[in-house]
Amino acid sequence: MRLVSTTMIVALSTCRLFAFNTPRQIARRSSSKLLPPRLVDVANSVIRVAETTASFSPPTIVDIGCDHCLLVGHLSFPSNPLLSTPLVAIDSSPSALSGGRDLMDKIKIISEGKNSPVELMCGDGLSPLFHNEISSSNIVLSISGMGVSTMKKILTEGALQRLSAIHNIVLQPTNTKPRNMQLIYDHLTSLKFRPRDERFFYDDRRFYITTTFQKTDNDEPAVLGSFLYDTERTRQIYEKYTKFHEEWSRKIKEKI
Ligand SMILES: C[S@@+](CC[C@H](N)C(=O)[O-])C[C@H]1O[C@@H](n2cnc3c(N)ncnc32)[C@H](O)[C@@H]1O
């Protein structure tokens, strides 16, 4: 329910952004106005990993479950440092993609066609990439706004082996209880993807955790919090998160 209302608020604020401003006024604003605050962490993680790996191979960014393409829309703005990086947005819902196509058309007008190339694909998880070859050997994948079990279904061993160009994965699941987070950490570490960055964000009484996983040779388990992004703000939110869940599990145990 909360997710539905958050999506509606984002959609409404996007409509407002485009309804009451001329393209030139919008272009002058930061494209981060497109994003709900929690997605700013995803965007920044994707930008950081794409920038740091660009010397190894030019990156292509793929967002799975893109919905109305707010993330790739933000990344495609000429004001973003990733300009000209190819962007791919995938969703299983044709109507979500149709909203995304409208947004991308508007961004193209606003940025006078100087935005990054964006390709929209309809399909389940990574499957559209099996049929549409991506020339980059450095795919940065992002998945946000889904539960960990859906993420695990998308990030299967077979799919990741087949798409060996995926070297980095940025995840922001909707269910951030420690045991859920551990499920996705265990799954990805068993497939030799290890956390290399974690960001914690607290908004509207919800925690959002954005983790970047990097392909390695190492399949040792990793726990949440061991690669905390080292800022005072993040550390404070992490402490709040652990305290909240300690109290929550104590209350559950008391009830048993
Ligand atoms: C709640 S929205 C999240 C949108 C955006 N990523 C965000 O974080 O705000 C979830 C989106 O994922 C899509 N989705 C769910 N399962 C999917 C799958 N297996 N493959 C592709 N898209 C999927 C849905 O259609 C929906 O548009």
- 166 in a structural domain: yes
Which CATH number does the domain housing residue 19 bear? 3.40.50.150
- 255 in a structural domain: no
| Ramachandran quadrant class, 129 (left: phi over 0; alpha: psi -120 to 50; beta: rest) | alpha
Q: How far apart are CA 243 and CA 241, in angstroms?
A: 5
Residue nearest to atom 24 of ligand 1 (CA): 65
- 254 in a structural domain: no
* Ligand 1 nearest atom to the CA of residue 143, by list position: 6
User: What confidence score (pLDDT) does residue 246 get?
Assistant: 82
Which range of residues forms the domain containing residue 244? 2-249
User: What confidence score (pLDDT) does residue 249 get?
Assistant: 67
- 137 in a structural domain: yes
Who contacts 198 (Cβ-Cβ below 8 Å, separation ≥6)?
209, 210, 211, 212, 224, 225, 227, 228, 229, 234
Q: How far apart are CA 234 and CA 240, in angstroms?
A: 10
- Domains of the chain: total: 1
pLDDT in tens, the chain (256 residues): 444 444 444 444 444 444 444 444 444 454 657 899 999 999 999 999 999 999 989 999 999 999 999 999 999 988 888 888 999 999 999 999 999 999 999 998 888 888 889 999 999 999 999 988 888 899 999 999 999 999 999 999 999 999 999 999 999 999 999 999 999 999 999 999 999 999 888 988 899 999 999 999 988 888 888 776 566 777 788 888 888 888 776 776 676 6
Instruction: Say yes or no: CB of residue 150 within 6 Å of ligand 1.
Output: yes
- 217 in a structural domain: yes
CA of 133 to the centre of ligand 1 (A): 22
Task: Please give the model's pTM, rounded to 2 decimal places.
Answer: 0.86
- 153 in a structural domain: yes
**Can you tell me which residue has the tokens 């946000």?**
144
The tokens for 78 are 């000429």
CA of 150 to the centre of ligand 1 (A): 9
Instruction: Say yes or no: CB of residue 138 within 6 Å of ligand 1.
Output: no
Instruction: Say yes or no: CB of residue 98 within 6 Å of ligand 1.
Output: no
User: What confidence score (pLDDT) does residue 230 get?
Assistant: 60
